[in-house]
A and B are shown apart, each in its own frame.
Chain A
């Protein structure tokens, strides 16, 4: 009785996913998680990774993409190293999936964490995250004014960010190199904290991801000066009363030639079977087609992207090399 139900369900799953499956991966549907699947977040509660994990949890459950329940588990200890070590020590456990970002390249370099993303099983890259230069709504109105203010400041000009020797810190160093201005970088525990501190005027600026400053931007407490990308963010719906994401100029337009994008990618622990890997590639491909995902991309101003297989590997290798050179140039690689 129960066997026939399971067989029918499996068949239904194959049929449902047939249009987007290539013929090579269809036998993979033999595997499906039976225990709750844990989305491992390498950051604190409420941060960009956490929010994304919760969006995926909702997308999977609302659209019945998988029978096993999804739980989000926060492993933000040691600036996210906890999650990396947790994944590394879970070899062969296909019920854990990490939502990774650039820390997989940076943390092993800056803190000598014994971790290499090549030990994990890549599933897919699901989005690229932007960085925006923000200042307090009462501060400078343009990048030029902002840089001039930083140069003229007699006391330390404070730039808030998440963690030390990471994306935010690297961006700050490259802004210094480009402009000759001097910033005092204040590493906070989370992007949310960096946002609150900017609103309270305890820092002059930060380089938060759009999602981290979204609420205070909408509340009119901070101003978006420029986005660190080659092109403007594509979303044109008004987010604040007067501005859409698309209204924010690129930093290059404003004469500050610094660019950085951060991956958001899914990884399984090492030593999982190809069937298990294929299941998750398929699952997250379906996730990127849900309304929840599309909504989230727009709301948080993320760049949609989907990479898997050899394409993803090629991307990871290039991205790793890029991050490594940035970290080296900034002087953040531990000896």
Chain B
């Protein structure tokens, strides 16, 4: 009940005209970046982060998280109307969303996407509301070995559960780890791989890399493919909305399953992308009629969207309580928190109650307001895509450059961003996934520090990673996930052997 009281206090913090209007502005900007291919959540938040530096932390984080929700909503619009996922996590939405639009059911598909996004977030926010007060005492149990185990878990789950070829994931991750090593090494207090350059002293900023890797490389690809943006018109009437809502109870199992998957993947850093695919695949596997998926089935929209939003929201919990971001966008929000002098960690919940509960309350409000905004503004956003690419592309490049420059006011970072743009382009061409690279860039040096501190503390014994129940469980889980494909195969092999035996008598 304590959580409920604190939440009400959070709502009280938010209920000022200033914050409500910032919220609307954030949502609209977020939908905008979500709709534009090449921008998207992480980039949108990264670019707009400096705008909020002059605000107080609560207004700033409310605005930024609303951009985040907006981007999550916006990604669905282009997926369904144009078959272009504005966001990586809305790729799975195109599988059934676009066929629906082709059949003239764009309005239904969009309503389904928005509604399920809303449900997914709501479930995750409820989880955050009731878990948050407990998390701070839990978090104090985390010393260097525990932190390293969590990072290891994240790295392993990317390798073990990722859909891409394993060796490519490992290559991408290794390159990321290498680049993360540039700059000052906290443990030894010396510089590494800076080659006497003062620009490299502070290391490679993760945001600069992300803007280049995703934003610039996408523009390069689009230029090459001469992508013509041709979309379906869409208009949502109240009747369609009600009709879709009436049908919702039929799909409760899918919605519930996807919400659970999303929350789980969001909290154990796996990211919204994995969640949306997993939600889609499981809905298909459990369906009585798996053949109809991919041909315009509304369930094929519900499943990935619910999961993507649930994980996107749940990812904020480990970020706030432990300082470990669950997704790329959460990592950027984490950077933002530090800028405002808020140290994410267990004490954040004790020392900055206003902020934390204001943020949680803003998740509720932001999602409600967001749902209303997207349902009413779809035609306007859809028209963005009729602007010629030649006009949109320079705008995107300029906004990327401003974003990269603003992070540290360094011209060097713009060159770095362009360099990473080329790297991203090459990676996409030869099929090396970018996500492990960015993950390694964010967590690489922290994982390294945690490992070395754990080693100093234990006098060099690796046994420290199994020294208590908590760290032992996480480490074992990490290693299991790393070898998951092998284990999975072994189990299904055993299963196949058992089944004929059961049938024979």
List A residues at the B interface (Cβ < 8 Å): 44-46, 50-51, 54, 71, 74-75, 77-79, 81-82, 85, 89, 110-114, 155-156, 158, 163-166, 169, 184-190, 192-193, 196-197, 199-203, 215, 332, 334
A187→B202 contact, CB < 8 A:
no
Shortest Cβ gap from A319 to chain B (Å): 20
**B residues in contact with A110, CB < 8 Å:** 189-190
**A residues in contact with B141, CB < 8 Å:** 200
Is B131 an interface residue, CB under 8 A from the partner?
A: no
Q: A156-B457, A200-B142 are in contact. Are A111 and B341 (CB under 8 A)?
A: no
Kindly state the separation between the CA atoms of A319 and B194 in the bound complex, as whole angstroms.
30
Q: A77-B183, A215-B347 are in contact. Are A54 and B456 (CB under 8 A)?
A: no
**B residues in contact with A164, CB < 8 Å:** 185-190
10 nearest A-B residue pairs (beta carbon):
A164-B189, A202-B143, A77-B202, A78-B184, A165-B189, A45-B338, A200-B140, A82-B202, A46-B343, A78-B201
Shortest Cβ gap from A183 to chain B (Å): 11
A85→B198 contact, CB < 8 A:
yes
Which one of A78, A166, A190, A201 contacts B191 once the chains associate, using CB atoms below 8 Å? A78
B184→A79 contact, CB < 8 A:
yes
Q: Which of B176-224 contact A (CB under 8 A)?
A: 183-191, 198, 201-203
Interface size class on chain B is: 35 or more
Kindly state the separation between the CA atoms of A164 and B187 in the bound complex, as whole angstroms.
6
**B residues in contact with A78, CB < 8 Å:** 183-184, 191, 201-203
**A residues in contact with B184, CB < 8 Å:** 77-79, 81, 111
Shortest Cβ gap from B140 to chain A (Å): 4
A155→B201 contact, CB < 8 A:
no
Kindly state the separation between the CA atoms of A74 and B143 in the bound complex, as whole angstroms.
26
Kindly state the separation between the CA atoms of A164 and B408 in the bound complex, as whole angstroms.
24
A202→B144 contact, CB < 8 A:
yes
Is B340 an interface residue, CB under 8 A from the partner?
A: yes
Shortest Cβ gap from B441 to chain A (Å): 15
Known: A78-B203, A188-B186. 15 other contacts (CB 8 A): A44-B338, A45-B340, A45-B343, A46-B342, A77-B203, A110-B189, A114-B198, A156-B458, A163-B189, A187-B186, A187-B189, A190-B343, A196-B345, A201-B143, A203-B457
Shortest Cβ gap from B254 to chain A (Å): 41
**B residues in contact with A202, CB < 8 Å:** 143-144, 457
B201→A82 contact, CB < 8 A:
yes
Which one of B201, B346, B351, B457 contacts A81 once the chains associate, using CB atoms below 8 Å? B201
**A residues in contact with B456, CB < 8 Å:** 156, 158, 184-186
**A residues in contact with B241, CB < 8 Å:** none
Shortest Cβ gap from B147 to chain A (Å): 10
Kindly state the separation between the CA atoms of A18 and B141 in the bound complex, as whole angstroms.
56
Kindly state the separation between the CA atoms of A62 and B108 in the bound complex, as whole angstroms.
55
B340→A111 contact, CB < 8 A:
no
CB closest residue in chain B, given A72: B341
Which one of B54, B183, B459 contacts A156 once the chains associate, using CB atoms below 8 Å? B459
Which one of B143, B183, B347, B459 contacts A155 once the chains associate, using CB atoms below 8 Å? B459
CB closest residue in chain A, given B337: A45
A77→B201 contact, CB < 8 A:
yes
Kindly state the separation between the CA atoms of A199 and B143 in the bound complex, as whole angstroms.
10
**A residues in contact with B183, CB < 8 Å:** 77-78
Shortest Cβ gap from A86 to chain B (Å): 9
Is B251 an interface residue, CB under 8 A from the partner?
A: no
List B residues at the A interface (Cβ < 8 Å): 53-54, 140-144, 183-191, 198, 201-203, 337-343, 345-347, 351, 408, 449, 453, 456-459
Kindly state the separation between the CA atoms of A87 and B35 in the bound complex, as whole angstroms.
40
A187→B187 contact, CB < 8 A:
yes
A45→B341 contact, CB < 8 A:
yes
Can you spell out 7 A-B residue pairs with CB atoms less than 8 angstroms apart? A50-B341, A79-B189, A110-B190, A190-B343, A199-B140, A200-B141, A201-B143
Kindly state the separation between the CA atoms of A184 and B408 in the bound complex, as whole angstroms.
35
CB closest residue in chain A, given B459: A156
**A residues in contact with B201, CB < 8 Å:** 77-78, 81-82, 85, 113
**A residues in contact with B186, CB < 8 Å:** 79, 163-164, 187-189
A166→B189 contact, CB < 8 A:
yes
Shortest Cβ gap from B448 to chain A (Å): 12
Kindly state the separation between the CA atoms of A111 and B202 in the bound complex, as whole angstroms.
13
Kindly state the separation between the CA atoms of A184 and B454 in the bound complex, as whole angstroms.
11
B341→A200 contact, CB < 8 A:
no
A158→B457 contact, CB < 8 A:
yes
Shortest Cβ gap from A263 to chain B (Å): 20
**B residues in contact with A75, CB < 8 Å:** 202
Shortest Cβ gap from A218 to chain B (Å): 11
CB closest residue in chain B, given A36: B54
Shortest Cβ gap from B396 to chain A (Å): 27
B457→A196 contact, CB < 8 A:
no
Kindly state the separation between the CA atoms of A193 and B449 in the bound complex, as whole angstroms.
13
A186→B144 contact, CB < 8 A:
yes
**B residues in contact with A155, CB < 8 Å:** 458-459
The listed residue with most A CB atoms (<10 A of its CB), out of B338, B341, B459, is B341
**B residues in contact with A203, CB < 8 Å:** 457
Kindly state the separation between the CA atoms of A186 and B53 in the bound complex, as whole angstroms.
33
**B residues in contact with A196, CB < 8 Å:** 140, 345-347
**A residues in contact with B457, CB < 8 Å:** 156, 158, 184, 186, 202-203
**B residues in contact with A197, CB < 8 Å:** 143-144
B190→A111 contact, CB < 8 A:
yes
A112→B189 contact, CB < 8 A:
no
**B residues in contact with A44, CB < 8 Å:** 338
**B residues in contact with A188, CB < 8 Å:** 186, 453
Shortest Cβ gap from B459 to chain A (Å): 5
CB closest residue in chain B, given A184: B456
Shortest Cβ gap from A16 to chain B (Å): 27
Kindly state the separation between the CA atoms of A75 and B186 in the bound complex, as whole angstroms.
15
**A residues in contact with B191, CB < 8 Å:** 78, 111-113
Kindly state the separation between the CA atoms of A138 and B335 in the bound complex, as whole angstroms.
34
Kindly state the separation between the CA atoms of A193 and B189 in the bound complex, as whole angstroms.
17
Kindly state the separation between the CA atoms of A193 and B142 in the bound complex, as whole angstroms.
11
Kindly state the separation between the CA atoms of A26 and B141 in the bound complex, as whole angstroms.
58
Kindly state the separation between the CA atoms of A112 and B198 in the bound complex, as whole angstroms.
12
**B residues in contact with A186, CB < 8 Å:** 144, 453, 456-457
Shortest Cβ gap from A162 to chain B (Å): 9
Shortest Cβ gap from B68 to chain A (Å): 20
Kindly state the separation between the CA atoms of A203 and B198 in the bound complex, as whole angstroms.
34
Kindly state the separation between the CA atoms of A60 and B459 in the bound complex, as whole angstroms.
49
Shortest Cβ gap from B423 to chain A (Å): 22
